[in-house]
Amino acid sequence: MAQKHAVMTQDMLAELRARLGIEFKPERPFFNTQATRDNIRKYSDGIGDVNPLYRDEEYGRKTKYGCMIAPPTFLLSVFHPISHGLPGIHGWHAGNDFDMQTLIRQNDDITYTITPLDIVEKSSQMAGRTWIQYNLVKYFNQRNDLIANRRCWTVRAERTAAREKRKYASTPKASYTKDELDAIYRDIENEEIRGATPRYWEDVEVGDEMTPVVKGPLTLRDIIAWLMGCGSPHIRAHRIAYERAKRHPAVASLAAEEGETDVVELVHMHEDVASQIGLPGAYDYGAQRSCWVAQTATNWMGDDGFVKKFYVEIRRFNFIGDTTWCRGKVTRKYAEGNEHLVDCELWAESQRQETTAPGRATIALPTRG
């Protein structure tokens, strides 16, 4: 049962373009508003990060920070959805570019503003006419210090056009032999967290590789854990859901199997809803995979490192059943002012040996001096 979906109009584009360059602060917070012990831990649970710096209050007290801190991508639990406007036009979270200014410390209160930057028409194999929507999100702490600038972008496309193109229709569902699963589990167990042992800048060489962080095989459980730690733009319960649907009727999707109207986020959980946009199955959130890629860097750098910049593009879908190896290597080592920095290439790679999310990071490391 295929639902009739919205089509892009010039009026919709004009309405969105009228907002470009105008900074606004949302009336309602998205999800986390404070980096409490529990919120940082729940975020870490949501992405499968066992680093004690982000989970153990007593451990945090013994570090140079004197408290727990949050990883840079905790900000995505403060606000990650970016496909505002264009009601009924599907959005795929396609990338993030973080410029970090300061740490997120335990009990920091965090607010944010959004500035729509641009919308650019493209053509894609996925859906024909598509539009890339660019936004700037600024995050602040309770002292009004800028924590980070996050430039982010979303691919917008008509759902019917995506369904008719069926670019990914021939993608086979993941399956594994026992030996292949055992190899995945070994890689999971081999994950290395540098932790309290400093990674000194002097000891790093260009070409050094990071120990992979393995996520998968992806299950519905992993999607639910992400939502528990990082929130959802649309998933609410009972009267709250009803009132939200009244305010935003165009965000509704259709779970055809049940014949019930529901939120379009079910593309991440329900194969039938994903099929309405031409996909063979449910898939992860783009923001979710961004967090996994960043974890490769935070694992590697140790407690004393600081991620100054982090960039990632979501290039391909990661379906239920797929496995992702998040990898990285050092590409440059240099000093800038009083900082000792390394640039790293990062990427997410599937069991099909496809790069699904290329990225990069700049990390400040401690020195022996």
pLDDT of residue 85: 87
As a whole number of angstroms, the distance between CA 236 and CA 25 comes to 21
Give the residue from 366, 367, 362, 365 showing the smallest Cα distance to 100. 362
pLDDT of residue 1: 43
Cβ distance 292 to 326 under 8 Å?
yes
- Domains of the chain, earliest start first: 10-364 (3.10.129.10)
pLDDT of residue 356: 98
Per-run averaged pLDDT (10 residues), the chain, 369 residues: 74 95 94 98 98 98 98 98 86 96 98 97 85 97 98 91 78 95 98 98 98 97 97 87 78 54 80 85 96 98 98 96 98 97 98 97 96
Give the residue from 81, 233, 77, 75 showing the smallest Cα distance to 139. 75
SS3 of 6, please? coil
As a whole number of angstroms, the distance between CA 353 and CA 351 comes to 5
Which alpha helices (H) appear in 56-189, and where do they start and end? 57-61, 75-78, 159-165, 178-189
- What's the token pair of residue 295? 């974890």
pTM confidence score: 0.94
pLDDT of residue 158: 86
The Cα-based distances of 28 to 68, 112, 146, 152, 153 in angstroms read: 27, 11, 20, 20, 21
CA angle 121, 78, 6 (to 5 degrees): 35
